Amino acid sequence: MDASDFLFVCLMSTLPGPPSVSVNDAILQLYPIDKHKCHKIDPIRDIAFQLYTVGGYNLILLNAPRLEAGPWYLTAARNTQVVGEYTAKLIDYLVSRGMSLPSLHLIGLSLGAQMAGVCGQSVKSGRVVRITGLDPAGPLFKKWPKSLKLDSSDAEFVDVIHSDAGIFGYPTSVGHVDFWPNRGISPQPGCTKPEVKRTNPDNIVALCSHWRSYQFYAESVLNDRGFVSVPCDSWQEYLDGECRSYYPVSNMGFNVDFNAKGNYYLRTAAQSPYSLE
């Protein structure tokens, strides 16, 4: 595999002038997308357009067809390493051209979250400030070493949203702060069962519970008071109301408290708007 196997094809900006990768505020969103349909894929459209509405960001959307989950998931999972390393090289290049690394925020969904971890630890021009993992892919990664997956050492701050833990998502905490909406497992409210859709003959996508993570995140961009979460030792303690003495609370998603550490729990609605706050 070489750089021709994936392209960085989509650039959106709300900053004055034509889109540019040399400005200070950049968000690199990692999700395997069709290079001809980047604006039509739900995770890209929902999160990127919300950030576009907020304004003040350049969004670099990564097309990584080698990370499509089907039909050969093992191959796609293994490719997170080389794609992550190439993405790190892109970041190093952008930094050399004037991009401020401290302003960079990596957002990855599923295999993209694991790739973001590899990317973060592979950047040579400095330390990535923030990585957000949206239901990091679970199958195979549990037994793989930290160098091949997302963990808290990959950036100064790693926040993770779990929504399908133990099925398509990673089963345990991996970030500085891990959010477990509705216990972080399937089925999420509004989802009846694990659902898989074949988007083309060569790709399958896990839907509903697994994708709730990006839907929560997209909504959080424009709701700076939403998704209030409580730190607690377990979901059961959360249900029993034994966590309210633990502080501080934090918003899940884009407006997370950078001082938050450990596991946080919350409930959500079954449909948008998902935040109950």
Q: Which of 207, 84, 243 is nearest to 148 (CA)?
A: 84
Of the listed 46, 135, 151, 154, which one is catalytic? 135
Whether 178 is a known active-site residue: answer no
What are residue 179's DSSP bridge partners?
161, 264
Distance CA 216, CA 45 (A): 14
Give the distance from CA 97 to its chain's centroid: 26
Q: Which of 110, 163, 229, 250 is catalytic?
A: 110
Whether residue 135 lies in the annotated active site: yes
- Round to whole Å and give the CA distance between 232 and 66: 38
Task: Please tell me the distance from the alpha carbon of residue 183 to that of residue 126, in angstroms, as a whole number.
Answer: 35
Give 6's contacts (C-beta < 8 A, 6+ positions apart): 62, 63, 64, 65, 66, 83, 86
Q: Which residues are catalytic?
A: 110, 135, 210
